[in-house]
Chain A
Amino acid sequence: MAEATEQRNAHFAVVLSHLLRAGVILAAAVVLAGGVLYLMQHRGPAPLYKVFHGEPADFRYARHIVRDALSGHGPGLIELGLLLLIGTPIARVAFSVVEFAIERDWLYVFTTAVVLAILIYSLVSS
């Protein structure tokens, strides 16, 4: 492979690395904050996870989660952190689309866009 391409790949890899790390740290911080609030707000016996009820609607859709988090509800904030975590690899794929476009590698712009579309579909379909 050409020197210039090698260097560019290495540079992109570093940027991707920072992106992933920042995403995980941010998500973990939000989850931790939400966790502390949750433990303060929910004293008493632990919920029984034995029977599956499914989460209430407030924890299933992004816009509800954001609203719940902003109201200072511990579990809502946790879910927001989890959304951020799920968003981290998605952001990384989106970044790769740009990266391949800069390299003018249209085959992989297309391939990566397909992956991105699948990820977004998963997140918004209901």
Chain B
Amino acid sequence: MHATTLEFTLLVALGSLLAGLLGSLTGLGGGVVIVPFLTLLFHVDIRYAIGASLISVIATSSGAAAAYLREGYSNMRVGMLLEVATTIGALSGAYLVTRIPTGAIAAIFGLVLLYSAWTSIRPQGDLSGTQHPDALAGRLKLDGSYPTPGGRLDYYVRNVPAGFGLMYVAGVLSGLLGIGSGAVKVLAMDRVMHIPFKVSTTTSNFMIGVTAAASAGIYLHHGYVDPGLSMPVMLGVAAGALLGARILPGAKVRTLRIVFGVAIAAIAVEMISKGVGGKI
């Protein structure tokens, strides 16, 4: 089978649309399936795949951030401070791509997918904000408040150094795998730094785009970003995400997350075995 350029472009766009749709509905982000979709199905070299994926991550996260910023949950200072860690991590990750074998990238990708599958399937818990102030967080002006039906609720931030370190890891994964690492970012903010869940997710959203932009420059210079491939991926994922946002109110998110989780667990195993076996 040898597809024409048009056929190939449309197929990739369709697949990307599906990825964006599922990502938007499950809240997991479509980026996670773009790379496996391209490498396993279309046999695209993983470097072109992560280039295209990273581009789509910038598009969807910036779009989502635009929508959520207005709601007033995001914490600008937390985001900006932690972005120092994520962007340095992203640079590290992007440099790693040029140095480690593609099979290793695929295997690591598979492991991250397994983690995503697990977070998708397990029940959502909301760790409510702590009421005790932390000296470092106070000096860094990180504490904030968020809107609730009963007025603004204050919260205090804790464990800044640990959060910073975890954000660095999130950045490395983003730069290495062409993903948004939203799950790790939310983990760092929600679980480690005790920032309320809704604040964590919306802040993570606008951080993802900045982190991705940090490694995008390096991808560009190393020639990973192909226009013919990135174009349908970017447009497809963006369209899918928009569509997902439209139909979200009526969707059975819990069921979707379980189905999605099982599917990406299977894909994860495939990526790891292909990566270790040197077939990627």
- Listed in ascending order, the chain A residues whose CB lies under 8 Å from chain B are 1, 6, 9-10, 12-14, 16-18, 20-21, 23-24, 27-28, 31-32, 34-35, 38-39, 42-47, 49-56, 59-61, 74-76, 78-79, 82-83, 85-90, 92-93, 96, 105, 107-108, 111-112, 114-115, 118-119, 121-126
Contact = CB atoms under 8 A, between A and B. Distances in A.
B213 interface: yes
A123 B140 CA distance: 29
B55 A107 contact: no
Contacts of B70: 13-14, 17
A88 B58 contact: yes
B214 A119 contact: yes
Task: Pick from A13, A50, A122 the residue with the most CB of B within 10 Å.
Answer: A122
A53 B80 CA distance: 36
Interface string B55-75: 100110011011101101010
Contacts of B83: 93, 115
Contacts of B81: 108, 111
Contact of A34 (B152, B222, B227): B227
Given A21-B63, A118-B91, A52 B48 contact: yes
Interface residues of B toward A: which range?
Answer: 35 or more
14 contacts: A10-B72, A17-B65, A17-B70, A23-B62, A39-B6, A45-B4, A49-B45, A59-B226, A85-B58, A108-B141, A115-B210, A121-B217, A122-B91, A122-B216
Mostly helix, strand, loop or mixed at chain B's interface? Answer: helix
A31 B225 CA distance: 13
Contacts, number: 213
B37 interface: no
Given A85-B58, A118-B84, 5 more contacts: A13-B69, A21-B63, A24-B66, A76-B227, A87-B213
> Which 10 residue pairs across A and B have the least CB separation, nearest first?
A54-B223, A46-B8, A122-B217, A55-B223, A78-B227, A123-B217, A75-B227, A21-B66, A49-B44, A52-B45
A84 B76 CA distance: 23
A49 B229 contact: yes
B196 to A, nearest CB: 15
A30 to B, nearest CB: 10
Contacts of B221: 60-61, 125-126
B66 A112 contact: no
A52 B66 contact: no
B87 interface: yes
B5 A107 contact: no
Nearest to A17: B69
Given A51-B45, A75-B227, A86 B217 contact: yes
